[in-house]
Amino acid sequence: MSEQRLAVIVLAAGSGTRMRSAKPKVMHELAGLPLLGHVLATATSLGAAHVVPVVRHQKELISKYISAYFPTAVIAEQDDVPGTGRAVECGLEALPADFDGAVIVTSGDVPLLDVPTLESLLGEHLAGGYAASILTAVVEDPTGYGRIIRSNDGKFIQIVEHRDADADQLEIAEVNAGVYVFDAANLRSALAKVGSHNAQGEKYLTDAAAELLHQGKRVQALAVADNWLVAGINDRVQLAEVAAELNYRICEAWQRAGVTIQDAGSTWIDVTVQLGEDVTLLAGTQLKGLTHISAGATVGPEVYMVDTQVAEGATVVKSHVTGSIIGAGASVGPFSFLRAGTELGADGKIGTFVETKNAKIGAGSKVPHLSYVGDATIGEQSNIGAGTIFANYDGVAKHSSTVGSHVRTGSHNVFVAPITIGDGAYTAAGTVVRRNVEAGDLAMNVAPQRNLADWVISKRPGTKAAEAAHKAKN
């Protein structure tokens, strides 16, 4: 069928009270995207001519997200009339008046539903000339779901909501998954006939299916093969369950693509992350956002990484890394904090207990121990001594520092920005560098050392120190 004749309506107007959250349910995050983002990405991948999210509760916030990430979607607003049927009617109003194709209806809280499942439902719907096709699931615990009522010969009759069901109906394990394909014209006319005489006083979309049968139209209900695909999220327990299952599937897909994952149970990978062949992920690692790890790199154990690029063969151990670029063969950690704008060159090193921010550290350069590098550019093959602080803040404004290539700075230096250290320069241990250092110079400003002879023996008599000093001298 032509994509011009397909629309997808995504229901996202409900209040999601069971989340008990200030944030709208569909904006809760799952593997790096809001729930609604997963659904709209799937709808967009189907290539439908019209993608129509229906909003109401916290509509400004949700609409802002939709406009930013799915600008071709047409946002519809639900009015005061409650219920999924009314929500779909409002969605239909956003379509061109003469639209007469197929309408897929799904929910913003069913994030794992995928393109193949929708394509196959749509295919069966069109091939059989149905007015409505309903996706169902046979579940262990049908509590809360609409039950699928079938005739003795298995034909679909109607959907009865949990709160409207009698004792026999409550025993039925086949439930409405909340995913449908309708013929647009039939859907419009059926919804016009649906009332709200039910336990919740709402206009139910589910009643449109029974109405179509009543009008002599063809309606089918098809069970999905994999129940996870239609798992709906109503509360945070379900959110955590779906998150764990999705993460397991993401890990499995990467394992099949050549990534070693030591412990999928403690490794969390957003859907937006990219991994190369022979990447190794060790336990307790979270990879988020637009993180991209290239072939042969090892990340973990216990790395939290956001929006970061790691090049071939690099190693990152027990560190927190955001918005950074780590070069080929470079090494980071253990116990370092790389903040936005950190760029570590090939074979460079950011070692143990080091914090970096907006810091460009050239190829082969090292910041191995106990340092802060903020707003600095360091050339190639330089070594920054242990315990060095780039003092970038004068209390009012931030300033930058530049260190050349092949520089050796002593331990426990302070670089008071703005400052420039030339190529091949040295600085002595304990230097507070306040003036620029020319290429090849040695900078030192440490006061000369004085040793007061026998000070301990005369000023601290009777102490263990004095005793030890006395012994050493005699």
Q: Which stretch binds Ca ion (CB under 5 A): 182-190, 228-236, 398-406, 466-474?
A: 228-236
Binding at 78: pick from Ca ion, ligand UD1, none (beta carbon under 5-8 Å per type): ligand UD1
Q: Are 1 and 101 in contact (CB under 8 A)?
A: yes
User: Considering only 201-209, 351-359, 374-382, 413-421, which stretch makes contact with ligand UD1 by CB under 6 A?
Assistant: 201-209
Residue type, 58: Q
Q: Which is nearer to ligand UD1, 82 or 323 (CB)?
A: 82
Contact 321, 330 (CB under 8 A): no
Q: Is 156 in the site for ligand UD1 (CB under 6 A)?
A: no
Site string for ligand UD1, 214-233 (x = CB under 6 A): ------------------x-
449 CB-contact burial (10 Å; exposed 0-12 / middle 13-18 / buried 19+): exposed
* Beta carbon of residue 130, minimum distance to ligand UD1 (angstroms, whole number): 18
Residue nearest to ligand UD1 (CB): 146
Do residues 156 and 150 make contact, with C-beta atoms less than 8 angstroms apart? Answer: yes
State which of residues 32, 34, 53, 82 lies at the interface with ligand UD1 (CB under 6 A). 82
SS3 80: coil
With respect to Ca ion, which residue has the nearer C-beta, 118 or 338? 118
145 binds ligand UD1 (CB under 6 A): yes
Q: d(Cα 280, Cα 28) in Å, to the nearest integer? A: 29
Burial class from Cβ neighbours inside 10 Å (0-12, 13-18, 19+) for residue 68 reads: exposed
Structure tokens at 316: 């990152």
In the complex, which residue's CB is closest to Ca ion? 232
Is there a contact between 50 and 8 (Cβ–Cβ < 8 Å)?
yes
x-marked contacts with Ca ion along 93-132 as a string, rule CB under 5 A: ----------------------------------------
Of 235, 130, 230, 148, whose CA–CA distance to 190 is shortest?
Answer: 130
Note whether 373 and 337 are within 8 A (CB).
no
Is residue 364 at the binding interface for Ca ion, with CB under 5 A as the rule? no
Q: Please tell me the distance from the alpha carbon of residue 88 to that of residue 303, in angstroms, as a whole number.
A: 44
Is 176 near ligand UD1 (CB under 6 A)?
yes
Closer residue to Ca ion in complex, CB, 232/362: 232
Min dist. Cβ of residue 176 to ligand UD1 (A): 4
C-alpha 5: how far from chain center? 33
Closest by alpha carbon to 180, among 220, 141, 233?
220
Q: Using the rule CB under 6 A, is 359 a contact of ligand UD1?
A: no
Tell me which stretch binds ligand UD1 (CB under 6 A): 45-53, 107-115, 269-277, 463-471. 107-115
Q: At what angle do helices 184-193 and 84-93 cross, to 10 degrees?
A: 130
Q: Which residue number, 232 or 300, has a Cβ lying nearer to Ca ion?
A: 232
Total interface residues for ligand UD1 by CB under 6 A: 27
Q: Which of 320, 369, 399, 406 is catalytic?
A: 369
Among 6, 9, 11, 113, binds ligand UD1 (CB under 6 A): 11
Compose the 251-290 pattern: x for residues touching ligand UD1 by CB under 6 A, - for all others.
----------------------------------------
Q: Identify which of 46, 41, 14, 18 has the alpha carbon closest to the alpha carbon of residue 30.
A: 41
369 is catalytic: yes
CB 182 within 8 A of CB 6: no
Min. distance of Cβ 232 from Ca ion in angstroms? 4
Asked whether position 82 contacts Ca ion by CB under 5 A, the answer is no
54 vs 251, which CB is nearer to Ca ion?
Answer: 54
Choice from 34, 108, 232, 323 touching Ca ion (CB under 5 A): 232
Is residue 146 at the binding interface for Ca ion, with CB under 5 A as the rule? Answer: no
CA 160, CA 176: separation in Å to the nearest integer?
9
CB of 29 to ligand UD1, least distance (A): 16
Retrieve residue 351's tokens: 């070692």
How far from chain centre, in Å, is Cα 219? 38
Sequence-separated (6 or more) residues with CB below 8 Å from residue 375: 357, 358, 359, 390, 392, 398, 399, 400, 401, 417
Q: By CB under 6 A, which span of 5-13, 359-367, 406-414, 463-471 interacts with ligand UD1?
A: 5-13
Residue 146 in contact with ligand UD1, rule: CB under 6 A:
yes
Q: Is 63 exposed, middle or buried (0-12, 13-18, 19+ CB in 10 A)?
A: middle
> Using an 8 Å Cβ cutoff, are 51 and 8 in contact?
yes
Give every CB contact of residue 450 below 8 A, 6+ residues apart in sequence: none
Nearer to Ca ion, 161 or 343 (CB): 161
In angstroms, give the least distance from the CB of 113 to Ca ion.
Answer: 13
Does 178 engage in binding with ligand UD1 (CB under 6 A)?
yes
Can you tell me the distance from the alpha carbon of 186 to that of 192, in angstroms, rounded to the nearest whole number? 10
Residues found near Ca ion in the complex (CB under 5 A): 232
* Positions marked active-site: 369
Residues found near ligand UD1 in the complex (CB under 6 A): 11-14, 54, 78, 82-84, 86-87, 107-109, 145-146, 159, 161, 175-178, 204-206, 232, 234
